[in-house]
Every structure is written in C-alpha cells, then in structure tokens.
Structure 1
C-alpha cells in the first residue's frame, strides 16, 4: 500500500471558496435541473423500429442524463454526510437551500466573523473531499515565489 505524500503547499481558502461557489452555481444547479426533468410516457421508449429513431434516441439520452444527474446529487449528499456537522450545515444552507449568511449564522449559532471562518473551512473540506473522490480541482493553493522555495 502506497500512501500519498502530504500536501505542503499553502491552501488559498478564499479562492477555494470561490471555486466551490462557482461549482454549486454551475455544476450542481445543472444536475438539479436535469434530475428534475419529467419522464416522458413509457410508450415513447420503444425498441421496435420506428420511422425515425432520432426521437427514441433523444428520449433515451434524456433518461440516461436524468438518471446520471440523480446519481450525482446522491453522491454530493453522501460527500456532505462525511463533513463535520457544522460544515455540512453551512454548505447545505448556503449553496443548496440558498440561505443568506445571517440565516446561516443563526442556524449554527455563531457570530458573523466566526461563521465566515467556518464557511471557508467548510468550503475547503467539501472541495478536498470532492477532489479526492471525483477528480475535480476545486482546492486552490497559494503561489510561491522562487525566493520562498
């Protein structure tokens, strides 16, 4: 068993948070839309040859995309379940339920400055877990100059 070497680069929490925000705004919302598409009636999915198979293929493609989107959303929920409870609440409230920051402060019973710090940590924890499991690159690192090396 080979273990990965520990990461020695300094984490850029602000950029990581921006990456997570963008991921939820673009990717997560896309999967939510796809997963909520209505299924077409079963009679449109037929294996029998039809005059035009383009419609049947389109229906099948949409069904596959919808199923995949549902699996992605389930996967994200599983990732959220692995996070620290406070971090899980922050991510769900801010990016899935679209609550304001003051509402999140009330939910986790912290002042704004403490919530901001926890928010950055939550984004990092989510990003790191998604990077490890799905191969995304949400965690950002600070640039080091040649003098610092």
Structure 2
C-alpha cells in the first residue's frame, strides 16, 4: 500500500485536535458489552466462551437479496464476524486491560475479585477499568469499521 502524504498529514492533525470524553466513552463501551455484545452472541448462536477463543469461519458473506431466510443468515454471519472483531480488538490491548475487560464482561467477576486478581484497591481498579474501556474503543473503531464508533467527543 502506498501512503498518500496528504491523507497522512490529515490523520496526524486529527490526533492533535481530538478531545475524547473518557467517562462517556467508558459508558458506551459498558453499554456495548452489556447489551450489544449479548445480543450479538444470541444472533450468532455462540456461547460466552467464543470471545476467549474466536474461530474464523469459512461461511460465505453474501449480500441479502430480500429473502427472509437469507437476511437471517446474513445477520448471523455479520454477528459472528463482529464478535471475531471484538476478539481482535481485545487482543491488541495491553495484557492488564484485556484481563480487566474479559473478567468483567465475559467471566462476570465482581469488582472485589478483579481487585484481588490485579492486586489493587477498588479506586485504582476503577481507573484501570476506565482506561481499558477507552483502549477497547480505540481498537474496536479500526477493527470493526461497520460498527458505530464507541467514542464520545467533547
């Protein structure tokens, strides 16, 4: 791939002018995992362990032609693909951030259990969790371009 220097400069300038609301972004990530992620798993027909070991499938990714059965199949394919992208995004995070998000949203551990796992106090854990959620929003934005951006901007 050849780099377009004009686009590259725009990209760098975008980073300088960006002002992310980290608290609202964390809330969006929590909503994603508590609502959207759960629904994606139901639509995809997979269990909670899917995210721990995502499997790339060879299922066709055909567009829908209006047939109700085809639409359901396409929804299932996109749900599985989105879950795979969640796994990719998690795998790009720092180990601690990945451990926090998997512990909270996949393993459904309590905050005190995660504090023990990390060896930190609850206040420190809350900060680490917010940072992990924001890291996920950054990674997921580019891993899954068809999904809505989880960031909130000031």
Report the TM range for the smaller structure's normalisation. Answer: 0.7 to 0.9
Aligned equivalent of 1:18, options 9, 22, 27: 27
Shift, 1:127, TM fit? 0.6
Once the 2 structures are TM-superposed, how far is the Cα of residue 16 of structure 1 from its aligned partner?
Answer: 1.0
Alpha-carbon distance between aligned partners in 2 of 1:14 and 1:69, rounded to the nearest angstrom: 27
Matched, 1:72 2:86: no
Query: What is the root-mean-square deviation of aligned Cα atoms in Å?
Result: 2.1
Paired residue total: 124
Q: Secondary structure at the match of 1:7?
A: helix
Long gaps (5+) in structure 2: 47-65
1:35 maps to which residue?
Answer: 44
Alpha-carbon deviation of 1:64? 2.5
Structure 1 unmatched ranges of 5 or more: 38-53, 143-149
Alignment of 1:78-89 (within 5 A): 78-89=88-99
> How do 1:38-53 residues align onto structure 2 when only pairs under 5 Å count?
none
What residue in structure 1 maps to residue 134 of structure 2?
124
Distance in 2 separating the partners of 1:115 and 1:96:
17
Report the structure number with the largest CA radius of gyration.
Answer: 1
In the alignment, is the contact (CA less than 8 A) between 2:97 and 2:128 conserved in 1?
yes
What is the TM-score when the length of structure 1 is the normalising length?
Answer: 0.72
Say whether residues 1:140 and 2:149 are aligned partners.
Answer: no
Q: State how far apart, in whole Å, the 2-side matches of 1:85 and 1:116 are.
A: 16
- Greater Cα offset, 127-136 or 113-122: 127-136
